A and B are shown apart, each in its own frame.
Chain A
Amino acid sequence: MKKIITTALCCISILLALKLSAQELPLGTQPIKYNGGFAGETGNLRMNFGSGLTTSSITLNNVNAITVDGFIPKIRTGVGVSTGYGHSKHNFNAIQINGALAENEMNDKVTFITFAISPKLSFRGKYTFAPFFDYSYTNFNSNTKWGFLDSVETFRNNTSSWSAKGRAGFLFNTRKLYVGITFDIFNASKRFGNRYSIFTTNDFTTSYFLLGYSFQKSLESKFSVTPQLVLGFRKFPGSKPEILLEDFSLMFKYKKVIWGLNNSGVAIGFQSRKYKILLSQFYNSGYYGSLTLRYIFKNNSKSLLNY
């Protein structure tokens, strides 16, 4: 019954989240986005949902993602599934192209799904080492329309593509610390146009380095500070590797109230051992906002959460 109610709440929150804006979902909304070792990391069934929306005068972006991961005790492995949908709409009216007024409208849609599997090796009751392998599939569709205002003729262009990516790596964590590394194994994509289709195996690789730590005086302390960092390493053939700050999060927590900064803006919310509700917002020539929900189901398997 609890699971049904929780699922219903998540569905309702999807509808509510359509009113919010966000450029990107905050770190932690999709646990297996950067590192599949987070699949089954809690030892219990976990459900994450995130929804974000960005609005400005010419742009409307919306992305929704849901991630479910759990731990299977018999095979000592965590598995996770993440899926999402994104929609982006750009409307350029009355722009000048070579002195003539034109209009341009773009509609992009993206759907993705990711599977991750991660066996767990815990020892001394303090450390867990989790190597992983994940596979993600992304489908992208773009519909563009443009034309001159003083001309009847309009042009349309429809392209779509899909990409498949396989990654591997590991995650090492204790109660307060986690360190993870992710690297690409293969990366393939295929693009379709009105009159063409191109299949390529991308040569560029993206690796991630994750780090997070929770500063807390003691386990019973009410106040804590939790910075998290995701660095991306991109290497294109023939060029130097680039180091990018992919994602970050700096959250403060007192009792069960959380607040801080992340890539989606200023965040405030509520977090307990089961629930997490986080609302992030940012204003910069537009409105960016996101809503994150998390629920951890308790089960009878041996897990630190049950103590």
Chain B
Amino acid sequence: MDQIIFEYIEGELPLEDKEVFELRLLKDDEIKEQVELWKVTIISEGFSYTSELEQKLFVKSRRQWWNLSLNSILFVSFLLFIIHATLKEPELSEVGVEKRSFFQEKILRDESKLGFNKKEIYKYENTGIVETPQEVLFDTIQVCYEEKVENKTLHEVQKKGLVIGATIFLTNTYPVKRMKIKKAKRTLTRKEVRAGNRKTRKDTERRIANQFRKGNVPYVVPLDVSNF
């Protein structure tokens, strides 16, 4: 019965059933009271769909486009810069030595801050070690730095690169390997050796004596049974 009343109030009853129900309403007072109670529960406010609500809340962000475009511009400009730097022909100096590329300059500048003596050696894999970079078609190169510490020479293989034409493409960086300087063993004098042995002996005797003091009496200090 509640279902029928609900459908009647909602206006979803078919016409035939509606006419029968209305005839019954006129006759039955109980049904009439229930219908009145049902009518009180009807919400009179308007209904809004969620899609409409979403559309109201949705705000197009212009900042995302701005960030994306800025990042892309920066990336493209960086690429162009790199290409320009690498493809730029090095200028020849008066002496005939090629000017170093951007990466080489940067490396040298960084290393110079450390303040150690260095001598740049260009080592070509196919042609050998030379002191000045040479124009080759294709070769691998190692930029080595020679460091002098306390009259000992340490070679550091620092950068590895690829030479195409007269341009050096420095690709990988390797950790600096330093030769270990072995410290000479300190030789003790006879006096120091005797003093060390005496100290060891006295420490042993003191330790043994303390063990007796801590332990329960009685105790016995025997002769060395390994000798007597």
Q: Determine if B228 and A219 form an interchain contact, defined as CB atoms under 8 angstroms apart.
A: no
Q: Determine if A126 and B205 form an interchain contact, defined as CB atoms under 8 angstroms apart.
A: yes
Query: Is A128 in contact with chain B by the CB < 8 A criterion?
Result: yes
Which residues of A sit under 8 angstroms from B109, Cβ to Cβ? none
Bound-state Cα–Cα, A198 to B226, Å: 47
Q: Determine if B215 and A302 form an interchain contact, defined as CB atoms under 8 angstroms apart.
A: yes
Q: Contact string, A64-105, partner B, CB cutoff 8 A, digits 1/0?
A: 000000010100101000000000000000000000000000
Which residues of B sit under 8 angstroms from A304, Cβ to Cβ? 208, 212, 219-222
Stretch at the interface among B24-32, B131-139, B196-204: B196-204
Query: Is A303 in contact with chain B by the CB < 8 A criterion?
Result: yes
Which residues of A sit under 8 angstroms from B227, Cβ to Cβ? 176, 214, 216, 224, 226, 251, 253, 271
B: interface residue count bin: 20 to 34
Using A28-B228, A212-B228, A304-B222 as known contacts, say yes or no to A125 and B197 having CB atoms under 8 A apart: no
- Chain B positions 207-225 with a Cβ under 8 Å from a chain A Cβ: 208-213, 215-225
When the two chains form the complex, which single residue of B197, B200, B220, B224 contacts A176, counting CB atoms closer than 8 Å? B224
Query: Is A259 in contact with chain B by the CB < 8 A criterion?
Result: no
Q: Determine if A307 and B211 form an interchain contact, defined as CB atoms under 8 angstroms apart.
A: yes
When the two chains form the complex, which single residue of B204, B208, B220, B223 contacts A71, counting CB atoms closer than 8 Å? B220
Query: Is A127 in contact with chain B by the CB < 8 A criterion?
Result: yes
Q: Determine if B204 and A305 form an interchain contact, defined as CB atoms under 8 angstroms apart.
A: no
Query: Is A40 in contact with chain B by the CB < 8 A criterion?
Result: yes
Which residues of A sit under 8 angstroms from B201, Cβ to Cβ? 218-219
Most buried by B among A125, A175, A176, A212: A125
Q: How close is B140's CB to chain A, nearest CB, in angstroms?
A: 60
Q: Determine if A124 and B197 form an interchain contact, defined as CB atoms under 8 angstroms apart.
A: no
Closest to B211 in A: A307
Q: Determine if A125 and B218 form an interchain contact, defined as CB atoms under 8 angstroms apart.
A: no
Most buried by B among A28, A122, A217: A122
Chain A interface residue count, CB cutoff 8 Å, equals 43
Q: Contact string, A41-68, partner B, CB cutoff 8 A, digits 1/0?
A: 1110000000000000000000000000
Closest to A219 in B: B204
Q: Determine if B200 and A125 form an interchain contact, defined as CB atoms under 8 angstroms apart.
A: no
Q: Determine if A217 and B197 form an interchain contact, defined as CB atoms under 8 angstroms apart.
A: yes
When the two chains form the complex, which single residue of A43, A218, A228, A272 contacts B222, counting CB atoms closer than 8 Å? A43
Which residues of B sit under 8 angstroms from A125, Cβ to Cβ? 208-213, 219, 221
Which residues of A sit under 8 angstroms from B221, Cβ to Cβ? 122, 125-128, 173-175, 304
Query: Is A273 in contact with chain B by the CB < 8 A criterion?
Result: yes
When the two chains form the complex, which single residue of A76, A173, A272 contacts B223, counting CB atoms closer than 8 Å? A173
Q: Can you list 11 pairs linking A and B with CB atoms under 8 Å apart?
A: A28-B228, A40-B220, A78-B220, A120-B220, A125-B210, A175-B224, A212-B228, A214-B228, A296-B225, A304-B208, A305-B222
